[in-house]
Amino acid sequence: MDLDAIGDLPMPVTYGRHLARLFEPRALLAGTGLEPIDLERTGGTLRVRQALQYIDNAIRLSARGEWYLEWAASLSDHFHGPISLALMSAPTLGDSLDAFIAYFPARVPYLHLQGRSDGAHFRTEMRALIDLGAGRALLMETPLLILERYLANVYLIDPREARVDLDYPPTAHAEHYPRYFDCPVRFDAEHTALVIPTAWRAIPNLGYTAATWAHARQQCEGLLGASVERDTLGQLHSYLAAALDIADRPRALPTLAEAAAHLFITPRTLIRRLRRLGTTYQALTDALLREHACELLANEQLKVKEVAAALGFDNPANFGKAFKRWTGLTPGAWRAAAQPASTSRQGINRG
């Protein structure tokens, strides 16, 4: 998905304010159009594209790859305002997770969160809605580390029975993760998520107060006022990604009308909401199919016709035309030009 689809959405300045304490503020804000005083304004906001720029600046300025894990672990429990209050005052651990999933994206509009249970385990999954560039690890891992710390502090659980999954290869500083995450971390996973035993959702919060919980939720609802388009985008992205996992699909992806019906809105409403984010249904489906096509083509054991079939194309020729439209290359030419990739599933465990 292109940055233009979401890059102009507002988000709180909180990350920038805290990062400015670690790095020289003007160097941190280079290229953002912001001044240091902008980070100190109560209730101030910045655009996603500005946030990505100062995250890139921070990574460039840092001397250690793992610096952001230390920073994220130091964030106090009042850092996220009413969201923190909701997490700490919810009736059960499950209610805390549901509040985090529902309300945290209002603060990080480049992420979509969803909860999913496979029976024995409950997964709080995070999916990037845009290319996060060099800041991907920081922007995906910081919320996971915050959430893990909340659950451990409020519910006194044994984090070693949980797990963090990351859908990318081990970072250059992977050996440092056990110093910050109290649960095992697994790289090259299918999805990025905090994974806990489903039974934990019923653990009661001994600090639950009905009035505080109700007030926190009311405040959190206020954070969602301008997020209809972003929520639609996140729900649509999850729906399309799930559709790719369905075997023997009659077509590559659902039609716009089918997607709108799934979201309980009209096609015209879906078109309008996507237009407000600067994108279209065609652009979203093309980006998703292109991404998955490249992932499959990187596996040299798969024939092009098998990749085409896996993506729902009725014949390799149609897939070849679509792939050339997406990338400017035929599948064969792209595979020949691509660098061979060899990644293996690895896990880093606290020890």
CATH of the domain at 315: 1.10.10.60
Specify whether the CB–CB gap between 237 and 114 falls below 8 A: no
Q: 268 and 195 in one domain?
A: no
State residue 342's pLDDT score.
39
Mean pLDDT of the 346-350 span: 47
Mean pLDDT of the 13-35 span: 87
- Across the chain, mean pLDDT equals 85
Round to whole Å and give the CA distance between 309 and 292: 12
State residue 247's pLDDT score.
65
Round to whole Å and give the CA distance between 208 and 87: 10
* Higher pLDDT, residue 119 or 351: 119
Which contacts (CB < 8 Å, 24+ apart) does range 325-333 have? 325/286, 326/286, 326/289, 326/290, 326/293, 327/290, 327/294, 331/293, 331/297, 331/304, 331/307, 332/304
142: closest CA among 86, 58, 216? 58
Mean pLDDT of the 77-102 span: 85
State residue 231's pLDDT score.
76
233: closest CA among 48, 51, 32? 48
Q: 312 and 244 in one domain?
A: yes
Q: Is residue 349 part of a domain?
A: no
Q: 248 and 217 in one domain?
A: no
Q: 164 and 31 in one domain?
A: no
pLDDT band at 5 (very low <50, low <70, confident <90, very high): low
Q: Is residue 297 part of a domain?
A: yes
Q: 208 and 83 in one domain?
A: yes
Which of 223, 250, 281 represents a domain boundary (last residue)? Answer: 223
State residue 138's pLDDT score.
95
Q: Which domain holds residue 294?
A: 228-337
Q: Is residue 232 part of a domain?
A: yes
Q: 78 and 59 in one domain?
A: no
pLDDT band at 166 (very low <50, low <70, confident <90, very high): very high
Q: Is residue 345 part of a domain?
A: no
Mean pLDDT of the 28-33 span: 92
340 has pLDDT over 70: no
pLDDT tens across 64-80, in order?
999 999 888 887 555 56
Q: 87 and 12 in one domain?
A: no
Mean pLDDT of the 90-104 span: 93
Which of 63, 83, 110 represents a domain boundary (last residue)? Answer: 63
Q: Is residue 346 part of a domain?
A: no
Round to whole Å and give the CA distance between 119 and 102: 21
Q: What percent of the chain has pLDDT over 70?
A: 89
1 has pLDDT over 70: no
Work out how many domains the chain is built from and give that number. Answer: 3
Specify whether the CB–CB gap between 55 and 46 falls below 8 A: no
State residue 351's pLDDT score.
39
Q: Is residue 4 part of a domain?
A: yes
Q: How many residues does the chain have?
A: 351
pLDDT tens across 207-259, in order?
898 999 999 898 888 766 556 777 788 788 888 888 887 766 667 789 999 99
Which of 63, 87, 116 represents a domain boundary (last residue)? Answer: 63
Q: 215 and 87 in one domain?
A: yes
pLDDT tens across 45-66, in order?
788 889 899 999 999 999 899 9
Q: 158 and 253 in one domain?
A: no
Q: What percent of the chain has pLDDT over 90?
A: 41
Q: 81 and 213 in one domain?
A: yes
Q: Is residue 347 part of a domain?
A: no
Q: Is residue 77 part of a domain?
A: yes
Q: 201 and 126 in one domain?
A: yes
Specify whether the CB–CB gap between 83 and 104 falls below 8 A: yes
Could you give phi then psi for residue 9, rounded to 5 degrees?
-75, 145
State residue 344's pLDDT score.
39
Q: 57 and 69 in one domain?
A: no
pLDDT tens across 117-165, in order?
988 999 999 988 888 889 999 999 999 998 998 888 889 888 889 999 9
pLDDT tens across 281-338, in order?
998 888 888 888 988 898 888 999 999 888 888 889 999 999 999 988 999 999 888 7
